[in-house]
């Protein structure tokens, strides 16, 4: 593509658009989660596609040191390309007017949010709640996947329907309410390129408990 720009920045590693060879090309890589997650595309093909993008880049930005090291260990070109780790920022969530959500916990609660899929490890939080009798748990995110159904079933088995809530997706104002009102934020994820929700909670001064896996 003949861009005519001073700099072309692809803000995600899967962007299909490239500038012409004369335009400096900055590539941002957020994660290589496909190394551990099942995908319809073969792993070797995805790595080859990533290397093609890296090979075109004038410089590469990584969202975390973990992502940088993962790329370096799985590609042959990245070590020869100038790079920098630049952490992601978050919107000023403290300026968002909180809105009382439809799903309200009945007492003190911890909060977690994300795509409801196995790599986010929400099931571990459900099991953890058996050891935290004085707390409730609110999980927000798309709750229409088989993994969410498995979590719901486990909640019933543990007889914790009155302590654990899957809210489904929430808007920014409702999310702000949960962040402000929770006792703490928890993130048990197995795979994170960065982990923006943890930063959002920290911005509001909340205690944050995260796994020590990936970034």
Q: Quickly state the pLDDT bin for 2 (edges 50, 70, 90).
A: low
Mean pLDDT of 184-209: 89
Is residue 88's pLDDT more than 90?
no
pLDDT of residue 34: 80
Least trusted range by pLDDT, from 13-22, 156-165, 181-190: 13-22
Q: Quickly state the pLDDT bin for 177 (edges 50, 70, 90).
A: very high
Q: What is the pTM of this model?
A: 0.79
Alpha helix positions (H), the chain: 43-56, 65-74, 122-128, 146-157, 172-181, 196-203
Domain ranges of the chain: 8-85, 93-210
Contact of 46 with 34, CB cutoff 8 Å: yes
Q: What percentage of residues in the chain have a pLDDT greater than 70?
A: 94
Write the DSSP assignment of 142-199 as a string of letters: ---SHHHHHHHHHHHHTT-TTTEEEEE---HHHHHHHHHH-SEEEE--S--SS-HHHH
CATH architecture of 93-210: 3-Layer(aba) Sandwich (3.40)
Is residue 181's pLDDT more than 70?
yes
Q: What is the pLDDT of residues 47-73, one digit of tens each?
A: 888 888 998 999 999 998 988 998 998
How far separated are the first and last CA of the chain, in Å rounded?
A: 34
pLDDT of residue 1: 56
Least trusted range by pLDDT, from 39-43, 44-48, 179-183: 39-43
Is residue 214's pLDDT more than 70?
no
Nearest to 106 by CA among 164, 169, 153: 164
């Amino acid at each position: 593509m003949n861009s005519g720009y001073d700099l072309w920045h692809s803000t995600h590693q899967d962007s299909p658009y490239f500038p012409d060879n004369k335009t400096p090309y900055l590539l941002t890589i957020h994660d290589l989660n496909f190394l551990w997650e099942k995908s319809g595309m073969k792993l070797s093909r995805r790595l080859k596609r990533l290397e093609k993008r890296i090979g075109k880049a004038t410089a590469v930005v990584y969202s975390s040191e973990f992502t940088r090291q993962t790329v370096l260990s799985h590609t042959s070109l990245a070590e020869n390309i100038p790079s920098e780790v630049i952490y992601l920022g978050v919107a000023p969530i403290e300026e968002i007017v909180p809105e009382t959500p439809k799903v309200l916990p009945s007492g003190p609660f911890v909060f977690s949010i994300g795509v409801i899929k196995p790599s986010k490890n929400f099931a571990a939080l459900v099991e953890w709640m058996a050891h935290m009798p004085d707390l409730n748990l609110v999980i927000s995110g798309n709750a229409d996947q088989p993994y969410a159904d498995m979590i719901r079933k486990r909640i019933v088995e543990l007889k914790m329907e009155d302590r654990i809530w899957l809210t489904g997706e929430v808007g920014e104002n409702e999310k702000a309410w949960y962040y402000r009102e929770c006792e703490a934020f928890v993130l048990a994820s197995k795979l994170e390129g960065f982990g923006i929700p943890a930063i959002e909670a920290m911005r509001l001064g909340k205690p944050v408990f995260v796994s020590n896996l990936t970034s």
